[in-house]
């Protein structure tokens, strides 16, 4: 293939904003489905701590069911965290796409890498649910969130430098979008740092920050960005 043909291919590859956006919609939908599949109804029969095998005794009281539901708690909590995470990044990515007037090969690969981070979230979520008291599980989950934020920020900056943004649509959008990524990521980093003290405190603070970001109440200076 000649140099001219390679240059032509690179100029036209990944130029469809609509197809990239549709791909993102599909990936987010699949990942959301995979997350909920990790939630299981508690076992119908009891396992006695004194016996290694199933006892065969059916549940006989609501207290026993509450105990089994408590065992589902870590999965439910991490599902809530990841649902909020995916919701925020989906809205963020679609907001970026709404301000694009075009795409190119480099932007397409940046966005595909972002979707790679999205597709890893079910794994890091399941790891956190199973090993919630381990700092390494919390750290891996945080790295996943950090990578998503950095990749979305890289996509914004590249789109701006490559003149793919429609800056006239919403004046000041790049600066506002960048603050919307950088400030929450800094807060998440501080929250995850608390896992050195207690992993449950760290996770609880992350959930509160995510709820704040999703609901966006008029709290200053927290939501001024």
pLDDT (0 to 100) of residue 5: 53
Convert the pLDDT of each residue in 19-51 to its tens digit. 899 999 999 999 999 888 877 766 554 444 444
Bigger pLDDT: 96 vs 77 = 96
- Is residue 60 over pLDDT 70? no
| CB-side neighbour CA atoms (13 Å) of 181 | 25
Per the CB < 8 A criterion, the answer to whether 148 and 111 are in contact is no
| Domain parsing of the chain, residue ranges | 3-215
- Classify residue 104 as exposed, middle or buried by CB count within 10 Å of its CB (0-12, 13-18, 19+): middle
- Helix ranges restricted to H, the chain: 3-12, 17-36, 62-98, 105-119, 121-130, 135-161, 173-193, 199-215
Segment holding 168, helix H or strand E = none
pTM of the model: 0.80
CA distance 16 to 36: 31
**Per-residue confidence band for 144, with pLDDT thresholds at 50, 70 and 90:** very high
Q: Name residues whose C-beta falls within 8 Å of residue 152's C-beta, 6 or more positions apart in sequence.
A: 89, 92, 93, 96, 114, 181
Q: CA-CA distance, 153 to 110, in Å (whole number)?
A: 10
* CB atoms near residue 212 (< 10 Å): 15
User: DSSP letters along 185-197, please?
Assistant: HHHHHHHHHGGGT
Q: How far is CA 223 from CA 156, 169, 183, 209, in A?
A: 21, 23, 10, 11
* Interatomic CA distance for residues 147 and 53, integer angstroms: 43
CA angle 41, 126, 146 (to 5 degrees): 140
Quote the mean pLDDT of the chain.
82
């Amino acid at each position: 293939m000649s140099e001219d043909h390679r240059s032509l291919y690179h100029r036209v590859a990944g130029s469809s904003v609509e197809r990239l956006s549709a791909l993102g919609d599909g990936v987010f939908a699949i990942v959301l489905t995979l997350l909920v599949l990790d939630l299981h109804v508690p076992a119908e029969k009891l396992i006695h701590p004194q016996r290694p095998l199933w006892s065969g005794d059916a549940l006989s009281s609501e207290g026993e069911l509450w105990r089994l539901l408590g065992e589902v708690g870590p999965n439910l909590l991490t599902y809530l965290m990841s649902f909020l995470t995916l919701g925020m990044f989906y809205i963020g990515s679609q907001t970026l796409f709404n301000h694009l007037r075009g795409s190119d090969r480099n932007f397409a690969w940046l966005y595909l890498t972002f979707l790679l981070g999205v597709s890893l979230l079910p794994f890091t979520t399941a790891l956190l649910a199973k090993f919630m008291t381990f700092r390494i599980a919390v750290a891996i989950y945080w790295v996943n969130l950090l990578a998503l934020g950095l990749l979305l920020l890289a996509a914004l900056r590249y789109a701006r430098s490559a003149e793919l943004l429609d800056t006239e649509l919403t004046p000041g959008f790049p600066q506002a979008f960048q603050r919307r990524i950088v400030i929450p990521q800094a807060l998440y980093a501080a929250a995850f740092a608390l896992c050195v003290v207690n992993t449950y405190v760290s996770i609880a603070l992350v959930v509160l920050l995510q709820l704040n970001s999703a609901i966006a109440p008029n709290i200053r200076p927290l939501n001024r960005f």
